[in-house]
Structure 1
Amino acid sequence: MTIILTIDDLLLELFPNVKGASNQREALKEELINYYAYSVHKPQVSFDGQTVIITIPTQAIAREEQEYNKVVGLASKGNYREAKQALDALIKQNPTKSEYYRIYGQMLSDEGDQEGAINHLIDALRWDPTNGFALIMMGNVYARHKDDVETAMKYYDQAVKLDPTNYIAINNIGANLLQKGQVAQGISYLEQAYAINPAYANTSFGLALAAQRQGDMNKAFAMSTQALKSTTPKDPVYQNAMPIALESAKTLTQSGRGQALFDAYRSTLEETGGKSIEVITDPDIPTAAKLEIAENYNRPAHTIRYKPTYPAVEHLMMHELVHLDFIVQARQENLNKLFVSTQEQKATFIKEIYDTIKKLKKQGYPESSIASFSTALFDGLNRQIYNTPIDLFIEHFLYVTFPELRPYQFLSLYTMIGEGMQAVTDKRAVELSPRKVLSDSKVYNLVNALQLKELYGVDLMAGFNSVSTEEKKAQTFYNEYKEYEADRQPAEEYELVQHWADDLRLSPYFELIDEAAYRRCTASPLDTLTAIENDPFDLAGDESYKKKEMETFQQQAKEQGLNMAVVMYMVGALQYFSTMSPEQIKAIAFEIAMLGIHGISPEKQGYKLNGIPDKTFSGYHLIAYYYVSWALAIPEMLAGLQLPYEQEYETAKSINGMTNR
């Protein structure tokens, strides 16, 4: 690089030391050399009349900086051998650079050579006594490896004297005072460091540890979660802060404060919503807590059921209250939506996953098990579609509005997201589940994990074994949620339910319908197979409880929901009859009809047919063969059977057609 300057009054103003010099040109040359020098690289200065020409060796400077950056990269990756070789060459070329010795000393310390580290750090400070990092590193070596806190404090004190905002040095002073038993003074220094930089994880962890030892669990929880937010799971600080966060949260949840918050919030909602809220201890429910909306059960009051033994269950009870609060707000604006799924939509899902169904059949799984598995996938995916966006708003509301609930929320979300992670990474689940369903479920789980990471710093993302496309999709969804978060309006959460489902191509499996219009026009759930709402934590699959819970609904709907067991048995019947003549099928149809004179019990086992001697039938299995045989051989008489399985038969034919292709 060449710089050409005119020797005039302005130049003398820029370099005022030249004024009054007996030999101004020599004085100017010295000033320019000192100013434009870079370490050992000195510029060449020459004069041409009234101009001065400055030539700076930028190429040499650039090469040295490039080599230095290479050293930093090697050291950060732990490749100390190559880094030290490169530093030896740099020091030989430019022995005046303090940072070269400082980095060398740090690597030697990491390798266990503390004497070598001290020697290099002394060299660093000889070339630049103001090198704050070298001062701190010297203090660390003496405090941690030499057990010489007194000497360490001299270096830390000097670093702070040079830069009163050096939070690392202040933090280390505090840590060493704590080590010496000077607790109050040590905490004071840590708090100074925290005030300068709350994002320095070591300081937050130090404050958390001190608070835990003093029995201040509120501060221990707050500081340990702050430490988690400021670092990563591979960092020792993260690994040491996590147990403090868990232990302090567990202690705080034993205070009973969560129940008091619930009682107060419940009273407020009863007043604003105009309905009482019953709370029932129910150890038989498959989830930790569950909200039952009064109108959906033809009851005068809303009901919250909960398992008293579930960890931090007060958080889940509060979660249900917030969901009810959101529904009340949406109703007041006449904007509330119901999430429903019809028989046709379930049939669409079954067709989409038929490759998996076919695989399970080849592996020898019975039709009834495949039917239950398919239904569980459909219901579970719809639960995630509906609940994930809404849950984000609920958890944010709880975090902001009820700070005292945070220990409960922390434990509860950590447990729930961990269980969700297990569900989508379990080896058997991965083997059996349709790839797209598993991927979509991971995306929704990752969205929840992103919120846990933001609120409390707990990073469970790596445990989902997700691919980059799933992670990017989850981040996109979470970013969209953040745009709504600060000023959410009633019912806006339903927009995200629909947007995300559209993006994942899941919209064919459900509808969001206007609640007010639905209740005006619909007296019973004749068209509704599934109304998935207010059940965000259905991680267990207790079928006996579900059956008991749905008896009222099934009676009102006259069992018009799609019976997946019958569908799968019908697919088997279509395949079995495909090689038979109409007369052979008709003979079997009449044999079943004769058996049916005495009644076919759906729940009974052990039915036998002479026409199919190699099979033993359950009740539903036999009914499926009954329907299919008449549909194929005597279709004109099918209606006379009065078997309400038209939808099941149409679905079975569609699936069987996919198999034949």
Structure 2
Amino acid sequence: MDQSFKKSEFLKAIFPDIDIHDNEVIRKVLTIYYSQYGHTPKVEIDGDVITISLPDSVQQKYPDDFYKAADLCTTKKYREAIPIFERLIEANPKVSEYHRNLGQAYEELGEYDNAIDSLIEALRWNPKNNWALLLMGNIYLRAEKDTQTALTYFDQIIEADPENYLALSNIGGIFLRLDKLNLAERYFKNALKVNPAFVNALHGMGIIEMRKGNTLKAFESGVSGLKACQPKDAQMKEILDDFLLSVANQYFKEGSKMDLVADYISQLERVSGKEIQIQIIKDLKVNAKIEIAENYDRDYHLVSYRPDSPRIEHLICHELTHLKLILSARELGENLLFSSDQEHLISFRKLMEPTCKKLRSDGLPEENIKGFIESVFHGLNSRVFNAPIDLFIEDLLYKEFKELRPYQFISMVEMDKLSLQAVTDQQILDITPSALISKVKVYNALTARQIDNLYGTSLESRYPLSPTEKGFLDQFWDEFLEYRKDREPGEEYELVQNWANDLELDVFFKFKRDPNNSKKGKEPTEVLEKIESNPLGSDSFLLEEEEEMKKFLSANADVNINMAIFLHMVDAIKFFKKHDEQWIQEIAMELAMLGNTGIDPHKQGYKVSFQKGKGFSGQKVLAYMYVSIALSLPDLLAELKMPFEKEYNLAKVFGT
């Protein structure tokens, strides 16, 4: 076998008689040591590299006695294990692991001199034995209080195996336990360079930042650690959960973030042109709420919160972000008002009739039953409206208010506890229709999934979801992610409507246009999208938009054309201008294949690969198909026999 060393302090540490500057001394010391085992080694020196050649190889398969001794060490029977290791070494002294295990047994017993002697032997036979290097460094650091010698052994690990992030993190942990923060940070950072998602190193960095007083950085390290946890890291995940809560609580003690809230209020007051007031209401039914000035005929917006609510800074900013979204949607004339009337309440009472019967049989007065049903009705509608919009709000808060993240984390986790209770508490389940619980569960699990996504927690896993509920959850989450990529102001209302439609909760509310919307005009394609989807079910809205379209077309085009196809073609031409011909051709073929199944111009929700989540109407599919083929495969147009030539010719004028 060949044994290799470098001229270094490490070599001198395990062969104290060597002078690393004198090659003859090096040859002599190494020859004498390795000759005692019945062979004359060949020692070659090439610059700083020393190679020792021995005729036989190291034993690869360990005898049963080795495993027996190792098992004794596992049960802390070190005294019984030591004689076995000594016999193994006497029989074959060239096996590094025999010496290393003997040294570890001595180290556990506190016999550090014996441990050092054994570990030196282990390293003479294998200088890359990382566990022996780690033990030596640990002994010199903790028992001998000799940091410099410890670093000699620790640095040899990096020299021998620079990719060994586990060993690097272990060294960081040793220094951390001794409160040598700079050295600990050095090794943790080296470990993270190799594996940025190594949980132990991320946790270590979090502890270092905490001890240095960098609480927010500590929190971020804890979050990174939680996000990096795998199923096998269950114990570490529990440790990090506790660590994150501890760091967040320390962060709160360091001072309020109401100055951040004040800045946000000032920003929105400038945008809205109205004052924003904050008030405390002890018996408020929710943690916090905002009342928009115009909706209450006031000259100021009002945010109310309950004083016992968790982390009010986050709650206030959450409500303020509702205002921010509303102002942005109003600017484009896209804000909608969510409302319900007596007819919606009657529909809900029919759903809740079994609950009413049960409550009557329990002797509850009719007035109380009525109040309870109305409370559940408004609570359900609040969830239907807020659940999708809150996803966007919390996402914005996470991105734009880094200093608020510990507040957001605690606040969302506390609210999730109530959300979980609402769909798992047996008393609630006993009196609420299971179909209703199922729908609310989807909304609540969505919020849990967002917390998990932002902070690495595992809250969603606590929700008992059926396959159908899990299917809705996955579908809604994917749609949220698609909308999040390029959301235009007001588009959040589309998710409110779409998800309510899917869960069959759309019969309990309606949308109406916000009379405070800006009068700013819209692109004709935007008008058409609203008319085709018509999520509001409002005839007055439909007629108003149609009139706007007609005015546009009467000034620019032949009114006999198919207006919907024309406007979608304008949109398609603008869209395809951003892409090359080959990509357009691939889309053309995809749409042509979709067309083979038959396209209903009045149907909604056709799925296309290039715009996931926001389904196409049948008319939009036809328009995009025609344009993509005209641009990339024009010879096929005649075969398709699509009667849209006039629409396309006019669309080219407006789309280019």
> Does the 8 Å CA contact 1:229/1:458 hold for their aligned counterparts?
yes
Deviations 1:497-528 (A, max 9, x none): 111111111111111222239999xxxxxxxx
What pairs up with 1:80-91 in 2 under 5 angstroms? none
Mean CA deviation greater in 167-176 or 361-370: 361-370
In structure 2, the partner of 1:122 is: 97
Provide the rounded CA distance (Å) in 1 between the counterparts of 2:67 and 2:410.
41
Comparing 237-246 and 106-115, the one that deviates more: 106-115
- 8 Å Cα contact 1:109/1:141 also seen in 2: no
The amino acid across from 1:352 in the alignment is: L
- Select the residue among 173, 198, 216 that pairs with 1:200: 198
How far has the Cα of 1:231 moved from its partner? 1.7
Aligned equivalents of 1:376 and 1:507: distance in 2? 18
Alpha-carbon distance between aligned partners in 1 of 2:507 and 2:381, rounded to the nearest angstrom: 11
C-alpha distance in 1, partners of 2:429/2:136? Answer: 49
Which of 151, 155, 166 matches 1:168? 166
Aligned to 2:13: none
TM-score, L = length of structure 2: 0.57
CA distance in 2, matches of 1:251, 1:496: 38
- Cα displacement (A) at 1:375: 1.8
Alignment of 1:540-579 (within 5 A): none
Partner letter of residue 444 of structure 1?
Y
Q: What percentage of aligned pairs have identical amino acids? A: 35
1:165 alignment partner, SS class = coil
Instruction: After TM superposition, list the pairs within 5 Å mapping 1:258-337 onto structure 2.
Output: 258-337=257-336
Q: Specify whether residues 261 and 157 from structure 1 end up closer, same or farther in structure 2 by C-alpha distance, changes over 3 A only.
A: same
Helix, strand or coil for the counterpart of 1:513?
A: strand
Distance 1:200 1:508 in 2: 49
Q: 1:97 to 1:312 in 2, by over 3 A?
A: farther
Q: Are the equivalent residues in 2 in contact too, given 1:221–1:245 (CA < 8 A)?
A: yes
Return the match for 1:212 from 205, 210, 214.
210
Are residues 444 and 148 of structure 1, via their aligned partners in 2, closer, same or farther at CA, if it must alter by over 3 Å? farther
1:119-170 C-alpha deviation (Å, 9 max, x unpaired): 99938999xx9999x84699589979xx989999898655533432322221
2:439 counterpart letter in structure 1: D
Report what 1:485 is aligned to. Answer: 484
Q: 5 Å matches for 1:68-217?
A: 122=97, 135=130, 139=134, 159-217=157-215
Question: Residue 441 of structure 1: CA displacement?
Answer: 1.2
- d(CA) in 2 for partners of 1:141 and 1:463? 45
Partner of 2:219: 221
Aligned mates of 1:121, 1:465 — CA distance in 2: 53
Shift of 1:364: 3.6
Q: Residue 292 of structure 1 contacts residue 302 of structure 1 at CA under 8 Å; is this kept in 2?
A: yes
Q: Measure the CA separation in 1 of the matches of 2:160 and 2:461.
A: 41
Amino acid across the alignment from 1:243: D
Partner Cα distance (2:215, 2:208) in 1: 10
Change (3 A) 1:181 1:256: closer
2:219 aligned partner, one-letter code: F
Structure-2 separation of matches of 1:481 and 1:413? 18
Distance 2:347 2:66 in 1: 66
Q: Which has the higher contact order (CA 8 A, sep 6+)?
A: 1
- Give 1:20-59 correspondences, 5 Å limit: none
Q: Which residue of structure 1 aligns with residue 424 of structure 2?
A: 425
**1:186–1:350 Cα change, 3 Å:** same
Q: How far apart are the structure 1 equivalents of 2:284 and 2:276?
A: 18
1:283 partner SS? coil
Q: What corresponds to 2:386 in structure 1?
A: 387
Structure 1 residues 121 and 257: CA distance shift in structure 2, 3 A? farther
**What's the C-alpha RMSD, in Å, of the aligned pairs?**
4.0
8 A contact 1:140–1:152 mirrored in 2: no
Q: Which moved more, 1:243-252 or 1:466-475?
A: 466-475
8 Å contact kept, 1:278–1:301: yes
- SS of the equivalent of 1:516 reads coil
Shift of the 106–279 alpha-carbon distance from structure 1 to 2, 3 Å rule, reads: farther
The CA deviation at 1:109 is 8.0
Change in CA separation of 1:308 and 1:361 when aligned onto 2, cut-off 3 Å: closer
State the partner residue of 1:83: none
Correspondence 1:403 to 2:378:
no
> One-letter code of the match for 1:122?
E
Distance 2:421 2:172 in 1: 41
- For residues 375 and 419 of structure 2, the distance between their equivalents in structure 1, rounded to whole angstroms, comes to 15
Q: How many residues align?
A: 421
Letter in 2 for 1:464: Y
SS in 1 for 2:286: coil
CA distance in 2, matches of 1:131, 1:442: 59
Contact residue 192 and residue 198 of structure 2 kept, 8 A: yes
SS at match of 2:257: helix
Q: AA paired with 1:335?
A: E
Alignment-derived partner of residue 610 in structure 1: none
Does 2:437 align with 1:438? yes
**Alpha-carbon contact 2:216-2:403 (below 8 Å) kept:** no
Residue aligning to 1:352: 351
Residue 251 of structure 1 corresponds to: 250
> In the aligned structure 2, how far is the partner of 1:345 from the partner of 1:182?
66
Residue number in structure 2 paired with 1:464: 463
Q: Deviations over 1:49-106 (max 9, x none)?
A: xxxxxxxxxxxxxxxxxxxxxxxxxxxxxxxxxxxxxxxxxxxxxx9589x9999999
In structure 1, the partner of 2:21 is none
| Distance (Å, rounded) in 1 between the aligned partners of 2:273 and 2:341 | 31
SS in 2 for 1:235: helix
Once the 2 structures are TM-superposed, how far is the Cα of residue 210 of structure 1 from its aligned partner?
Answer: 2.5
CA distance in 2, matches of 1:325, 1:222: 27
Work out which of the residue numbers 204, 225, 228 in structure 2 matches 1:230: 228
Whole-angstrom distance in 2 between the partners of 1:415 and 1:315: 12
- The farther-off stretch of 252-261 and 403-412 is 252-261
Give the deviation of 1:387 after TM superposition. 0.3
